[in-house]
Structure 1
Amino acid sequence: MEPDIATQNDSGQDSESGLSLRWSARLSLTTRILVVNVLAIALLAGGLFYLNNYRDRLTEERLTQARLQLTIVADALSSGDIANRDALVEQFASHLGARLRLYAPDGRKVIDSFELAEPTYQFVDPDAEPLRKDAARMLDKTIESVVFTTQIPNFSEPANDVAGAWSELETAERKSAAVSSVSYAPDRTPVIVAGKSLPDGAGSILLTANARDITRIVRAERASVLLVILVAATISILLSLFLARTIVRPIRKLAVAAVRVRMGRSDEIAIPRMPGRRDEIGQLSRALSDMSAALRHRIDATEAFAADVSHEIKNPLASLRSALEGLERVDDPDLQKQLLDVANDDVRRIDRLINDISDASRVDAELARAKFEPIDIGKMLEQLLAAREQRTSNLGVHIAFARPAKDVAKVMGDGGRLERVFGNLLDNAVSFSPEGGLVEILATPDGDEIVIHIADQGPGVAPDQREQVFQRFHSDRPDGEAFGKHSGLGLAIAKTIVEGHQGEIRILDRDGGESGACFEIRLPKAL
């Protein structure tokens, strides 16, 4: 079984290569909508990585601040009374929220603020914290690994607390300046360590502080960003599902209906028109519905046409077969001649039918491919009437034509097909007109249209028959005309051609109540 919906042409390539999306060819429209909207949220999530940089800047500022504070403390201790050092160290440690340690020139620890007073900070045991803290630390590690953050070492107190156990003090002595560094406490909060040598070789001073506020600030901002992302993602997903519902479902419904129409399981299948939608999908549904109706009308017309062709050809074929069978049983030369004449008439009738049927079946296709050009109706009718005069096609009927001024009655169309229309109508008018009768032709502009009237003096057409005469194989010929001289397709072909030019053809009563029929053709005026 062939696929429900064909997506490629005969060459196996996309018919509109410019519209193909190779990267998403296997994704449904719903998935694409979700992916695009979630991608926007993913870009918003980049704020989480920005917060990591924000934390690094805070840490760097805190390191600079620690070096400056330690320099101030060192200068204050060097210029103060040695007897008051313990009190100064305790005060500075309390104000700075840090731990201050002084080391003698030989590296021994001589003063420790934590031994003089209550500790200004305490490291938190991560095992004693709630689960959400573990999740926060895991998120910190994940983001740091994604953005390739420089690894920060873990902080640990030396087993032997002497000056040589601190690399910061060694570096500060070598550079003769304050030096600071950062490491992680057990709960992954920053620990600021700063060291500086005292003036005149009086020893060194070390500052350590647990900057838990940096972690709190960053995590609070991260929680805010995550909340925004969560809300935005929820709204985005809901909007995506709404778009999928309002776009994908109607398209899928149209596709299913189109497949059912193509399968032709029922004549009642119709494409939903979605009159409430004024967007592109509504336009698409109405266009598909109109196309489906036109195709159904074309199919019905083709089926009816085929049935009519079968019926119309069957009659002359039956007559021809009867004549040929009679020839085998008749010996009378005169009767044989009559049968041969009947057979010849039937052959000519079949030939005429086949030619007219061929023309009728090609009209729509040829009009669809025709390139319309500006046509001067007045000039066309004038040339057509001159040709009929030369062929003596008017059979003693006079034709009066009120020739419009040049370029007044111009339409866009196929000249050969329009000439076929007027020729058919003139043949019809002449055949119904009495000997010496008059056929009047008038072509005038009427607003955005060109109106052509062809009126004869025949018996006219009854109002209830005026639509039927344009049906295929309708035959209502004048009295005395030999049977089978017309196929009944002339007016049907004329109507098809006129409608193919976006025009209209109908039958009216003649002005003044005179006897006869008036065919009116309206065609759009050429701009």
Structure 2
Amino acid sequence: MRRILLLNTLPLAMLAVTLLFLNDFQNSLLETDVNALREQAHIYAAALGQSAVMRNPARHPLPGAEYMFDTALARPLLLRLTEPSPNARARLVGPDGTLVADSLNEASLAHHTGEKLPASFPDSDLPRQWEPPHNNSLEVAYEWLLSLLPLSSREGIVTLDTPDAPPPDPSAAGSTRGTEAAPYIRRTPDRQLVITVAEPVMHDGQTVGVIQLTRQAQEVDRSLFAVRSSILSLFLVAMAVTVLLSWYLSLTIARPLLRLAVASHDMRDVSGRADTVPENLLNRRDEIGVLARALRGSVLALWARMDATERFAADVSHEIKNPLSSIRSAIETLPRIENRVRQERLLSIINNDVKRLDRLISDISDASRIDAELSRARPEPVAVESLLAILTEMHQTTRKPDDAILKLVDESDDPAHPLRVLAVEDRLVQVLRNLIGNAISFSPSKGLIVLRCRANSEKVEVSVSDEGPGIPDGKLEDIFDRFYSERPNSENFGQHSGLGLAISRQIIEALHGNLYAENRHDDQGRVLGARFVILLPRAP
């Protein structure tokens, strides 16, 4: 749950923090305010340069100082000029850096110049600063975020990290018209944004002084607050939705996976075979349901394998015990028999039982190795037609006159592209030999055994048909059981262990195929013989 919540909320939080910077938007607003304030200062400078300037009364004025401000005219005029803009503070500075006029109250001017303003100078101050709504939590959060965001700017916007640092010297604005000092933008200790520009006051091409305008960028803060509030509101809504979705994912994914883990632990450690996979997870139609059903299937397959191993061990014990009992009985009887013929007969029985034990042990060993061997082996394309042709030729070359005849019938749809199957060649040869040998043992003298190979959808079908008596009714599946033996009467007892067909099916199923048996019938329903069919995946 914690990881899901972290992974879902972290990108959202990073996006929200990135959007809160709003550098381009803030800079465009600042540039607009700077341009408007500079234009206002330019108008003030032009008006003061025409109406509030007089000749310097000094007998020998310095070069470039023929004109000076008329204080009696400059102060009232500055007040009248700034009256339509009460949120701006104007200061008029002479060429020597002395303060000539200030739109603030008389006490502020006296503090800077040591002189007293006329009575007509109003007692004024900057307007009340804009503040965000007085919501404690919102204000605290906004102020905290604002303190983390640096005031960035474009070219031409000066940003100072120390809000109490003094602005550039207004007297250094230049001596030619059109020279502009860089704007001074700062935040006061109470986080208010303030813009200051300076404009030279010109008269007859000479710089008489500098006018400095200072104004709070209220609209910038207000616009930024509105946008950031919208972003934060959307972020909070998105965060709430994300938390709910994370909780939903936890309920529908994380917790079911934990329940499956607990069920797996219980099925492993709890005594008995308790199927503890919850039914509601098994009935789900999503990936969790697939996983639950796969877990249950794996456990059931494991239990089935354990049962098969137990049955196999019991069958092996039973099959080995029979010849051992026969050998023990013969050995116990042999010392008490004096007849030489009967002794040889008992020795022959012991010899046959020993051979039977040897065959049993060999087949049991082979059967026990098949699963492990096929789990390591990698199926490869095998040309099944060539394999059947080789087996057919070997049989026909070595057959005796009265033995069954082996015939290959190729029913492939494209002779130019032989049929290939995905298999382990050695084990596939073993299966075909078992089926052919089984067909030979049930075939009459000179009977015909037909091998067929043809494509069947995405599989290849290989069949072995004989002309024997067929398979008894109800025994089509029993013949694949371990140690099941249904042999011809002419065959001596104990020549087969009853594991051949069981091993063959085990091999084919390990290769993701299928092996089954059926009887062949004529039009009247009479049994013409048996057929064993192998289905294996077709190789590309």
TM-score, reference length from structure 1: 0.76
Cα deviation, residue 340, structure 1: 2.5
Q: Would the aligned equivalents of 1:168 and 1:193 in 2 still touch at CA under 8 Å? A: no
Q: How big is each residue's C-alpha offset from its partner over 1:422-462, in whole Å with a ceiling of 9 and x where there is no partner?
A: 4333433444455x47344252536434352422333x333
RMSD: 3.9
- Provide closer, same or farther for how the CA distance between residues 75 and 387 of structure 1 changes in structure 2, counting only shifts above 3 A: same
Q: Distance in 1 between matches of 2:19 and 2:9?
A: 16
2:522 corresponds to which residue?
511
Comparing 311-320 and 477-486, the one that deviates more: 477-486
| 2:301 pairs with 1:277 | no
Alignment of 1:190-339 (within 5 A): 190-196=193-199, 198-199=201-202, 202=208, 204-263=210-269, 265-269=271-275, 274=282, 276-279=284-287, 283-328=290-335, 330=337, 333-339=340-346
Q: Distance in 2 between matches of 1:405 and 1:111?
A: 111
Q: Distance in 1 between matches of 2:198 and 2:468?
A: 123
- Provide closer, same or farther for how the CA distance between residues 428 and 63 of structure 1 changes in structure 2, counting only shifts above 3 A: closer
For these two proteins, the number of residue pairs brought into alignment is 480
| 2:438 pairs with 1:438 | no
| 2:156 pairs with 1:144 | no
Q: Secondary structure at the match of 2:518?
A: strand
Q: Distance in 2 between matches of 1:477 and 1:222?
A: 90
Q: How big is each residue's C-alpha offset from its partner over 1:75-108, in whole Å with a ceiling of 9 and x where there is no partner?
A: 2022126676555323321223312344567735
Kindly name which structure, 1 or 2, has the bigger radius of gyration based on alpha carbons: 2
Cα deviation, residue 221, structure 1: 1.7
| 2:406 pairs with 1:417 | no
From 461, 482, 485, the equivalent of 1:475 is: 485
Q: How big is each residue's C-alpha offset from its partner over 1:356-408, in whole Å with a ceiling of 9 and x where there is no partner?
A: 1122223344444153411116514422422550xx4x9x4543636447986
Comparing 261-270 and 37-46, the one that deviates more: 261-270
Q: Distance in 2 between matches of 1:183 and 1:496?
A: 85
Q: How big is each residue's C-alpha offset from its partner over 1:40-64, in whole Å with a ceiling of 9 and x where there is no partner?
A: 2133123355235644554455345
Report the residue type matching 2:346 in the other structure.
Answer: L
1:188 corresponds to which residue?
191
From 459, 466, 478, the equivalent of 1:455 is: 466
Q: Would the aligned equivalents of 1:384 and 1:419 in 2 still touch at CA under 8 Å? A: no
TM-score, reference length from structure 2: 0.74
Bigger proportion of residues as helix? 1
- Provide closer, same or farther for how the CA distance between residues 497 and 310 of structure 1 changes in structure 2, counting only shifts above 3 A: same
| 2:6 pairs with 1:35 | yes
From 96, 120, 124, the equivalent of 1:119 is: 124
- Provide closer, same or farther for how the CA distance between residues 467 and 167 of structure 1 changes in structure 2, counting only shifts above 3 A: closer
2:172 corresponds to which residue?
171
Cα deviation, residue 344, structure 1: 1.6
Q: How big is each residue's C-alpha offset from its partner over 1:237-291, in whole Å with a ceiling of 9 and x where there is no partner?
A: 3333333444433443444444445558443437677464355x55555554444
Report the residue type matching 1:507 in the other structure.
Answer: E
Q: Distance in 1 between matches of 2:391 and 2:186?
A: 102
- Provide closer, same or farther for how the CA distance between residues 270 and 308 of structure 1 changes in structure 2, counting only shifts above 3 A: farther
- Provide closer, same or farther for how the CA distance between residues 265 and 85 of structure 1 changes in structure 2, counting only shifts above 3 A: same
Q: Distance in 2 between matches of 1:190 and 1:140?
A: 11
- Provide closer, same or farther for how the CA distance between residues 123 and 178 of structure 1 changes in structure 2, counting only shifts above 3 A: farther
1:23 corresponds to which residue?
none
Q: Distance in 1 between matches of 2:434 and 2:306?
A: 26
Q: Distance in 2 between matches of 1:146 and 1:211?
A: 15
Q: Secondary structure at the match of 1:216?
A: helix
| 2:360 pairs with 1:357 | no
Q: Distance in 1 between matches of 2:397 and 2:507?
A: 21
Cα deviation, residue 112, structure 1: 3.5
- Provide closer, same or farther for how the CA distance between residues 256 and 388 of structure 1 changes in structure 2, counting only shifts above 3 A: farther
Q: Distance in 1 between matches of 2:78 and 2:187?
A: 25
Q: Secondary structure at the match of 1:463?
A: coil
From 377, 382, 404, the equivalent of 1:373 is: 382
Q: Distance in 1 between matches of 2:477 and 2:519?
A: 11
Which ranges of structure 1 fall in alignment gaps of 5 or more residues?
1-29, 157-165
